[in-house]
Amino acid sequence: MGKADSTTPDARRLFDWGGRESTDPRLTEPSAANKERLSRGRNFRKDVPRSAHGKWRPAPQRPDPIAILEQQAQTRVADLIPIRHGRMAASPFAFFRGGAAIMAWDLAHSATTKIRVQCCGDAHLVNFGAYAAPDRRLVFDLNDFDETLPAPFEWDLKRLTASVEIAGRDNGFPAKDRSAAVKSCVTAYQQAMEMLANLRWADSWYARIDLDHIERLVQETGRPKGRKATEREIRKARRKTSIGALTRFAEPDGKGSFQIREEPPLIVRFPEAEFPNAQAIVTQAMTDYLTTIQPDRRFLLDRYHLVDFARKVVGVGSVGTEAFMILLMGDREDDPLFLQLKEAQESVLAPYAGASEYAHQGERVVQGQRLMQSASDSFLGWFTGTGPQQRDFYVRQLRDMKGSAEVETMDAIRLAAYAELCGATLARAHARGGYPGVISGYVGNGEVMGESLAAFSSAYADQNDADHAALLAAIDSGRVSAEDGI
pLDDT, one tens digit per residue, over 209-235 is 988 888 777 776 667 766 777 777 777
* The predicted structure's pLDDT at residue 485: 79
pLDDT classification of 9: cutoffs 50, 70, 90: low
| Mean pLDDT confidence for 407-426 | 94
pLDDT classification of 57: cutoffs 50, 70, 90: very high
3-class secondary-structure state, position 430: helix
* The predicted structure's pLDDT at residue 212: 81
pLDDT, one tens digit per residue, over 360-383 is 999 999 999 999 999 999 999 999
Cα separation, 77 vs 483, whole angstroms? 15
* The predicted structure's pLDDT at residue 27: 56
Phi-psi domain of 325 (left: phi exceeds 0; alpha: psi -120 through 50; beta: other): beta
- On whether the CB atoms of residues 30 and 38 are closer than 8 A, the answer is yes
For residue 153, pLDDT beyond 80: yes
Burial of 214 (0-12, 13-18, 19+ CB in 10 A): buried
With b for 16 or more beta-carbon neighbours within 10 A and e for fewer, the 352-367 pattern comes to bbeebebebbbbbbbb
Nearest to 191 by CA among 33, 451, 427, 452: 427
| Mean pLDDT confidence for 335-348 | 95
Cα separation, 415 vs 429, whole angstroms? 21
Cα separation, 387 vs 438, whole angstroms? 46
Q: What is the pTM of this model?
A: 0.93
3-class secondary-structure state, position 219: helix
- Residue 109 carries which DSSP code? T
- On whether the CB atoms of residues 141 and 401 are closer than 8 A, the answer is no
3-class secondary-structure state, position 209: strand
All residues at 6 or more sequence positions from 371 whose CB lies less than 8 Å from its CB, including other chains: 118, 432, 433
For residue 399, pLDDT beyond 60: yes
3-class secondary-structure state, position 27: strand
Q: CA 105, 107, 112, 115: dihedral to nearest 10 degrees?
A: -100
pLDDT, one tens digit per residue, over 269-322 is 988 888 888 888 899 999 999 999 999 999 999 999 999 999 998 888 888 899
Cα separation, 432 vs 207, whole angstroms? 10
Kindly report the backbone phi and psi dihedral angles of residue 326, in degrees, each rounded to the nearest multiple of 5, phi listed first. Answer: -125, 135
Nearest to 410 by CA among 143, 168, 96: 168
Q: What is the 3-state secondary structure (H, E, C) of 158-179?
A: HHHHHHHHHHHHHCCCCHHHHH
pLDDT, one tens digit per residue, over 182-192 is 999 999 999 99
3-class secondary-structure state, position 406: coil
Cα separation, 438 vs 369, whole angstroms? 22
3-class secondary-structure state, position 139: strand
Provide, rounded to the nearest whole percent, the portion of the chain with pLDDT above 70.
93
pLDDT classification of 2: cutoffs 50, 70, 90: very low
* 105 sits in which H/E element: helix 100-108
- Quote the strand ranges of 358-439, DSSP E: 381-384, 392-397
Q: 142 has which bridge partners?
A: 128
* The predicted structure's pLDDT at residue 22: 46
Nearest to 483 by CA among 78, 32, 208: 78
pLDDT classification of 407: cutoffs 50, 70, 90: very high
pLDDT, one tens digit per residue, over 14-54 is 887 654 444 444 555 678 888 999 999 999 999 999 999 99
* 432 sits in which H/E element: helix 412-432
The domains of the chain are located at: 33-486
For residue 388, pLDDT beyond 50: yes
pLDDT classification of 61: cutoffs 50, 70, 90: very high
